[in-house]
Amino acid sequence: MSEPAGNGRRGSEDTRLKLIRAAEELFSEYGIGAVSLRQINRHAGQRNATALQYHFGTRGALVAAILARHRADVEPRRHALLDRFEADGGDLRALAFALVVPEASKLTDRDGGCAYLRIIAELVQRPDRPLDPSDPESPQESIHRWRRLVADWIPELAVRRLHRRFSAIRILFTELGRRAQDPERRDHELFVSHLVDLIAAILAAPVSEETERLLKGRRRGSRA
Amino acid sequence: MSEPAGNGRRGSEDTRLKLIRAAEELFSEYGIGAVSLRQINRHAGQRNATALQYHFGTRGALVAAILARHRADVEPRRHALLDRFEADGGDLRALAFALVVPEASKLTDRDGGCAYLRIIAELVQRPDRPLDPSDPESPQESIHRWRRLVADWIPELAVRRLHRRFSAIRILFTELGRRAQDPERRDHELFVSHLVDLIAAILAAPVSEETERLLKGRRRGSRA
DNA sequence: GACTTAATAATACGCCTGCATTAGAGTTTG
DNA sequence: CAAACTCTAATGCAGGCGTATTATTAAGTC
């Protein structure tokens, strides 16, 4: 955390981190596509205009670096919670807890945690265009493990036809992104606990008669 | 819908609409802040670079025009559903229905409906920066009427302390924005019906013991 | 038909953009 | 020491940006 940060070259890691932090701030505030690379350089205190290009190359790689940095915190936490779940047994709320809490802890992370959450919230809704950050979710990540585990706790049709787990994940990041946007976040524990309640309620949402009818009878398809 | 579109001056309304449609497409695809005004002009077939400025002035005003255009469709539908709800009586699902269906009908609207939904989804999460579209929600809109009505159907604490109605609205637009992004949208009725189920489940989500404890006892606030 | 106004077009300004190229500090390694 | 390497810096380029200014065209009004 002091000056040369260790690895040998002058301030390489240091500069890299400055760039990442600058990008976090600007991306989260203005949107990923609405910030120029030069802006990021400037905001990082880099007098040079090429530093970003040198260290990351493209905007997409920079986004990927931001995500990787924070996921290094989130992943082990979720894996630990899922380990505990598998060992001790638990209910649906315990699973919702394992989904929510590791990401929600980023709300209290002073080092770009909220920026990360807002960036993720944008990516959840726009995973397509100028990014291809190689992928927002690669295999063997904890969230896939969570998806597999939760499949046993909700109706098969809700998994296969209604994609409810994906809704839960999207909603999680949307709500966290919104919360991260709020400058004053009082009642943190209450917020998190309630978010767990919401996610659990979504996963366990009863299928209404009308939905069930539509699921079964494929014949009718008149209008909206 | 033919050429001069009515009002007198040459092709004013016509050009205005072309610009709006072009902006809808580009905003929804790349993000509101990531599209230049010149791009929009070009995409609208305007050889001139000033048309947009002439008709709208700022980017924010353009966004507001897009929203206004589509809300003209949505608002009466929701008001009608709420009228029916108040006249006939109804349950929580009927209220969720009134929230969801008018917006969801934009999914089948060929004239920019999906673009509108994706733009709204962005605004829901980034109502701040370069926009100030005078406001995403002004009084006496149907969504406020909905908020007032639904307050009687969910626990008072869920309204006052947990802001659950706002979560429901955010989640609605997030899920619709995601759906609007999908080029092939099969099972439209099923999707909408399930979304109504989800929103109803969110509104009716039980408050867990832990959340209740946090709601009551304010004394404890150790850590996340 | 002259006058006013609405709408489109054309062009020019200065600034910023991404990107390529080159040079120059400072370390590491042989 | 000197060569190799890593990183930062500086500058230039062609193009895009938002915006201001002005001209042109067409319709409405008296």
- Specify if A83 maps to a domain: yes
- Specify if B47 maps to a domain: yes
**Contact criterion met (CB below 8 Å) for A78 and A106:** no
Do A81 and A188 share a structural domain?
yes
Which among B129, B130, B224 has the least Cβ separation from residue A105?
B224
Q: Is the pLDDT of residue A46 over 50?
A: yes
**Contact criterion met (CB below 8 Å) for A179 and A185:** yes
Host domain of residue A187: 73-215
Single out the residue of B103, B140, B143, B99 nearest to residue B119, CA to CA. Answer: B103
- Which amino acid makes up residue A96? A
Give the per-residue pLDDT at A139. Answer: 57
- Specify if A116 maps to a domain: yes
Q: Which nucleotides of D are covered by protein (CB under 7 A)?
A: 6-12, 16-22, 26-28
- Specify if B188 maps to a domain: yes
Which of helix, strand or coil describes residue B120? helix
Do A44 and A85 share a structural domain?
no
- Specify if A64 maps to a domain: no
Measure B191 CA to nearest chain A CA, in Å.
7
The CA-to-CA distance between both ends of chain B, in Å, stands at 58
Q: What is the CATH number of the domain that holds A21?
A: 1.10.10
Measure A219 CA to nearest chain B CA, in Å.
11
Task: Give the total number of structural domains in chain A.
Answer: 2
Do A176 and A116 share a structural domain?
yes
Do A100 and A29 share a structural domain?
no
Chain-centroid distance, C-alpha A28: 13
Residues of B with CB below 8 A from A178's CB? 124-125, 170
Whole-prediction pTM = 0.88
> What pLDDT, in 10s, does the model give residues A120-170?
999 998 876 444 434 445 656 899 999 999 999 999 999 999 999 999 999
Whole-angstrom CA distances from B128 to A167, A178, B49, B123 are 25, 11, 27, 8
Q: Is A95 exposed, middle or buried (0-12, 13-18, 19+ CB in 10 A)?
A: buried
Do A49 and A106 share a structural domain?
no
> What pLDDT, in 10s, does the model give residues A62-116?
999 999 999 999 999 999 999 999 999 899 999 999 999 999 999 999 999 999 9
In sequence order, the 6+-apart residues with CB closer than 8 A to the CB of A43 are: A22, A25, A26
> What pLDDT, in 10s, does the model give residues A155-214?
999 999 999 999 999 999 999 999 999 988 999 999 999 999 999 999 999 999 999 999
Interatomic CA distance for residues B195 and A202, integer angstroms: 10
What Å value separates CA B50 and C1' D19?
Answer: 9
Interatomic CA distance for residues B56 and B222, integer angstroms: 51
- Specify if A91 maps to a domain: yes
Whole-angstrom CA distances from B59 to A20, A83, B64, B70, B222 are 29, 49, 9, 17, 45
Do A77 and A53 share a structural domain?
no
- Specify if A220 maps to a domain: no
Residues of A with CB below 8 A from B208's CB? 93, 193, 196-197, 200
- pLDDT (tens digit, 0 to 9) for every residue of chain B, 224 residues total? 333 333 334 567 788 999 999 999 999 999 999 999 999 999 998 888 788 999 998 899 999 999 999 999 999 999 999 999 999 989 999 999 999 999 999 999 999 999 999 999 999 988 764 444 344 456 568 999 999 999 999 999 999 999 999 999 999 999 999 999 998 899 999 999 999 999 999 999 999 999 999 998 764 444 43
- Specify if A109 maps to a domain: yes
Single out the residue of B144, B133, B135 nearest to residue B78, CA to CA. Answer: B144
Q: What is the CATH number of the domain that holds B185?
A: 1.10.357.10
